[in-house]
Amino acid sequence: VENPDRFVLADLDDDEASLRALRGVLASGEPQAMLRSGEVLVPRIARLPFPEAPALADLAPGEWDRDGTVLITGGT
């Protein structure tokens, strides 16, 4: 987008309170917002705690954590 500060992506429900809140969203400088029943929601990135992985000692030889992530490479 050549001029990203010239538009706002706004997702509104059909509640009158959301329409009234739209003016504040447009003046806020937020590039995108969702309005539900007059409540303004904006996307944010939040740090989450890292889940505890099972200790390797808890797994039998050749066993893998079925709840973990598996990367398979070289498959054709």
Cα 5 to chain centroid distance, Å, stands at 21
CB 33, CB 42: distance < 8 Å: yes
Check if the beta carbon of residue 51 is closer than 8 Å to that of residue 69: no
What are 29-38's pLDDT values in tens digits?
999 999 999 9
From edge to edge, which strands make up the β-sheet containing 32-36? 9-12, 32-36, 39-41
**CA–CA dist 28, 43 (Å, integer):** 14
User: Which band of pLDDT confidence, cut at 50, 70 and 90, is reported for residue 23?
Assistant: very high
| Amino acid at site 26 | L
Q: What is the pLDDT of residues 45-59, one digit of tens each?
A: 999 887 776 666 677
